[in-house]
Amino acid sequence: MPSTVVVGAQWGDEGKGKIVDLLAQQSDLVCRYQGGPNAGHTIVADGETWKLRQMPSGVVSGTPSVIGAGCVVDAQVFLDEIDLLCERGIDPSIVLLSGNAHLIMPWHVTIDQASERRLGSLQIGTTRRGIGPTYADKASRIGIRVQDVLDAKILRQKIEVALAEKNLWLERIYDAEPFDLEEVWAQYASFAERIAPYVGDVSLAVDRALRAGKQVLFEGAQATMLDLDHGSYPFVTSSNPIASGAATGVGIGPTRIDHVLGVSKAYVTRVGEGPFPSEIAGPDEARLRELGGEYGTVTGRERRCGWLDLVALRYAVRVNGLTSLALTKLDVLSAFDELPVCVRYRLRDGSETEDFPAHQSDFHHAQPVWEHLVGWAAPLDAASSREELPVAARSYVDFVASSLGIPIELVGVGAARDRVLA
């Protein structure tokens, strides 16, 4: 603190929601800076389970929260989560939504689904929430922004322009039903009234908070390896989850960020397609999935599971400038006698590297070089501090820290809010 970015150091689902929830309790403002309802944050607070997709996790503790320009917004999901806040007794006026954020329109969802179908075996395995097509239209400058719904005339014009092109694509390329201008316009005009009170200048609000010396937390969605520029392209999301994305996504300068906390599981999971060197081949994968409850929050898909990959984590330290790490779900490893850890990749020419390969073909063919650490084979429930962890569990954590050259600030040992050891 005072300003900290929390970023996924792997392929997502590292338990960021829980870490952000924890840090949000000492923060004055929590900011989402990229992504949309492709994220699924599960937070267990005061015995209640929250599943959030669009809102920053800070809302769970009633902390003022913003959704930055770098985000894409599904208006229906946003409003549903506003309702959820009200139901649970949290004043929704803590939420501020950037007028520059782009709206996920119904055709984006249709195109996401249809294009994945068309790709067949080459599919990316997206969450099918329209994320990629929305960011594509943003870059093509035919997107519809949150502020557009505030003016019915502008809104209609923008939908008309978009549909003139989208309906052609839908009918001719994707063999899908076209959308009706009047229907879409009426639907979004009706959202306008409900969304309007939350729309504001996020960049200004964050700048003011920082100037006032407030504690500001930036919450990344997805993760490093899913970054559009620096992840395992094309098996990535369409935004920049890495820490520097916080500056562009919210509208502040990079000099305003003080700390970058990476969040990593004590092992690795990945949903969707793409290379995954430390993926477990054999029955331990299913065991890890069961023990860790590794099923997608948004899609319910089985997550692919692997042992910890220090090559990919070292890369996350580099591209995010991580200053420390939170290692989550250490308790899930309690069931294993031996814990392989991927310390290097062996490349096709037989050479070994500690550095993440810059070329996709090297990464696709990389073989893990394992170091086998001893397990602790005991539950971690009794530990209320790092010192009380079994020796082997502490060694595991120390091994990761020394391999990465950054401190491990937090260790997650259970699902509940208080099962994080500082």
User: How many CB atoms are closer than 10 A to CB 99?
Assistant: 17
Active-site choice (13, 28, 112, 309):
13
Peptide bond into 197 cis (omega under 30): no
Does 41 qualify as catalytic in the annotation?
Answer: yes
- How crowded is residue 234: how many other Cβ atoms within 10 Å of its Cβ? 13
Which secondary-structure segment (H or E) carries 419? none
Q: Assign residue 370 a region (left: φ > 0; alpha: ψ between -120 and 50; beta: otherwise).
A: beta
Q: Please indicate whether residue 83 is annotated as part of the active site.
A: no
**Using CB under 5 A, which residues numbered 13 to 32 contact Mg ion?**
13
Q: Find the catalytic residue in 28, 41, 227, 309.
A: 41
DSSP result, 222-269: S-GGG-TTTSSTTSS-SS--STHHHHHHHT--GGG--EEEEEEESSEE
Q: Given the complex with ligand IMP, which of 40 and 414 has the nearer CB atom?
A: 40
Q: Which does 330 bind (CB under 5 to 8 A by kind): ligand IMP, Mg ion, none?
A: none
The nearest distance, CB 204 to ligand IMP, in angstroms, is 28
Q: Quick one: tokens of 121?
A: 């075996």
What DSSP assignment string belongs to 2-50?
-EEEEEESSSS-SSHHHHHHHHHTT-SEEEE-SB-TT--EEEEETTEEE
Question: Binding of Mg ion at residue 357 (CB under 5 A)?
Answer: no
**Footprint of ligand IMP on this chain (CB under 6 A)?**
12-13, 38-40, 124-127, 129, 131-132, 221-222, 226, 235, 237-238, 271-272
3-state secondary structure of 322: coil
Between 222 and 328, CB nearer to ligand IMP? 222
Q: Out of ligand IMP, Mg ion, none, which partner does residue 237 contact, by CB within 5 to 8 A per kind?
A: ligand IMP
Our CB check for ligand IMP shows the closer of 69 and 104 to be 104
Q: Between residues 40 and 251, which has the closer beta carbon with respect to Mg ion?
A: 40
Contact partner at residue 100 from Mg ion, ligand IMP, none, CB < 5 to 8 Å by partner kind: none
Residue 241 or 368: the one with the smaller Cβ distance to ligand IMP is 241
Mark 295-334 with x for binding to Mg ion (rule: CB under 5 A) and - for no binding.
--x-------------------------------------
Give the residues lining the site for Mg ion (CB under 5 A).
Answer: 13, 40, 297
Any idea which residues carry the catalytic annotation?
A: 13, 41
